[in-house]
Amino acid sequence: MSGACLREDALADGGVPAAPAAAHHPALVLLALAMGGFSIGTTEFAAMSLLPGFSRDLGLDAPTAGHVISAYALGVVVGAPVIAVLGARLARRTLLIGLMVLFALGNGLTALAPDYPSMLAFRFLAGLPHGAYFGVAALVAASLVPRERRTQAVSRVIAGLTVATVVGVPLANAVGQLVGWRWSFALVAGLATLTAVLVRLFAPLGAPAVGASALRELGALARGQVWLTLAIGAIGFGGLFSVYTYLASTMTEVTHASPATVPLILAVFGLGLTAGNLVCAWAADRALMPAAGLTLVWTAIALALYPSATASLWTLAPVVFLIGCGGGLATILQTRLMDVAEDAQTLAAALNHSAFNFANALGPWLAGLALAAGYGLPATGWVGVALALAGLAIWGVSLLADRRARG
Q: Which residue has the higher pLDDT, 291 or 265?
A: 291
Q: Where residue 171 falls among pLDDT bands split at 50, 70, 90?
A: confident
Burial of 102 (0-12, 13-18, 19+ CB in 10 A): buried
Q: Answer whether CATH 3.40.50.80 is correct for domain 216-407.
A: no
Give first-to-last CA distance, the chain, whole Å: 32
pLDDT digits (tens, 9 = 90+) for 117-143: 999 999 999 999 998 999 899 889 988
Among 83-87, 277-281, 393-397, which is the least confidently predicted range?
83-87
CA 116, CA 247: separation in Å to the nearest integer? 28
Q: Side-chain half-sphere of 194: how many Cα atoms within 13 Å? A: 15
**In 379-390, which positions are buried (b, 16+ CB within 10 angstroms) versus exposed (e)?**
bbbbbbbbbbbb
Residue ranges in 87-236 assigned as alpha helix (H): 92-111, 116-142, 150-163, 169-179, 181-202, 214-218, 224-236
Residue ranges in 203-261 assigned as alpha helix (H): 214-218, 224-236, 238-244, 247-253
Nearest Cα neighbor of 127 from 165, 171, 94, 78 is 78
CA 223, CA 68: separation in Å to the nearest integer? 34
In terms of pTM, does the model score above 0.85? no
pLDDT digits (tens, 9 = 90+) for 19-77: 333 346 888 999 999 999 999 989 887 877 777 788 888 888 766 777 887 788 888 88
Check if 1-212 and 216-407 are the same fold: yes
Instruction: Tell me which CATH code domain 1-212 carries.
Output: 1.20.1250.20
- The confidence score (pLDDT) of residue 63 equals 67
Supply the angle between the helices 26-49 and 62-86 in degrees, to the nearest 10. 150
Q: Domain-by-domain residue ranges, the chain?
A: 1-212, 216-407
